Structure 1
Amino acid sequence: MKSHRYGKNKQFILDTAYSLFNEKGYKKTTMRDIAGRSGGSLGSITYYFKKKADIAKALYLEFSKNFYTQIRRIYSKLDLNTIEADTVYLCTSVLVEVSNPKLIRFMFDVSQEGLLTDIMKDTIFMQFARKNEYLKLNKDNESLMVESLFYIGMYQQLVVGIKSGLIHDVDKAIYIFNVQHLQQLGFSNTEINAILKTVLPICHAIKVEEEDIFDITLQYPYF
């Protein structure tokens, strides 16, 4: 997953960190490791990124944007409303993140350092803002942020539960996770069942090709 969004030196640092996170994992990679692999000094790294968490956030945001572009390409060709489309996005992202050993290890490691909220909050807030507009709920930004934080909290517990072995039936856990998310939006059980009846077969049909920690390609086999 390489991007040309950043300047050459900054991008080289991100690419180097990406390689190390993929090989060693986020937890075992240090800023000195990144400096050593990139052939620069620690100061040359901290000029762009004050701490390792800043690098993790930049890499995750690039991954999230690429993932959203791919999933949007899929759901835009299907006859889905905004809630169904966004649920396809969120459900598929959770399925991918918890089924990729390197990616769930990354998410677990950053969650243990209290970083998950920081790297996810902007992306999830945008999802809740989009639903707020579609459903005409007229919620203010603070309410949307609270809902976003609740969602991230549920996601963190899902990751921890799976990674620690407390959750054995992952499909059931993800189903419950989606029900809880839709309840946040005020849908009834009947409405939630109808949404998930449409969405879940799509999510499970999406084929995932994983090259490494963040290099993921999505394909929908029915077009």
Structure 2
Amino acid sequence: MVNDLVYSINERLIMKNDLETKEKILKVALRLFSQNGYNETSIRKLAKESSVNLASINYYFKNKLGLYKACFHSLGQESLQIIEKLDITPASREHTENIIREFISEIIDLYVRNPSLILLTITEMRKKVLVGNFVGENHIMLIYKKLEIFFQSQIDSGIISDNLDARIVAGAIFGNVFNAINFDEVQLEKLNISLRTDEDYRKKYSSQLAYLYTYGLNYKGEDKCQ
């Protein structure tokens, strides 16, 4: 009985230590990959910065590519939560504005919680040759496609102008948000404002961008958009 209890306690301690070591390696990997890129980040550097040996990285992730892909695991979970925000079909412009604002806020909040992950994702998306069939791209494209479907439903229901192309509108919002994130450090340095560090600025950014797209997209002029 006592031996079983001791064994159980030891097992829990081992599992806890394993989880902590794995999370420590992932945290360091995200930072180094986002700063230096995949090719310029050696597995020896990863081990040294994580204060583990090479065998530990191979044990938890098999190799550098396995570790790189593991960095994007949380992106998949987060993307599903963001997509859920777009599953509702609004019945009014005000409701549309609220959904767009929440969508923008969710992406920015993900950046605030894990800036290295989002910056690494943006870096990878720009590459012509992706590392290991870059899994992060699939998660990002799922969000983009869902946003496109959302705007198409708004066009079909007459809430926003039928002069517009849902794909272009989705791309415009996507571009706005990810460019703002990408240049956030520059804004902090040059203008002393930052999405990551200033909660009031985050709220204003999400609200005003949602307002611009909701009511700007509602305009129905005589001339067709070309």
**Larger radius of gyration, structure 1 or 2?**
2
- TM-score of the two chains, using structure 1 as the length reference: 0.49
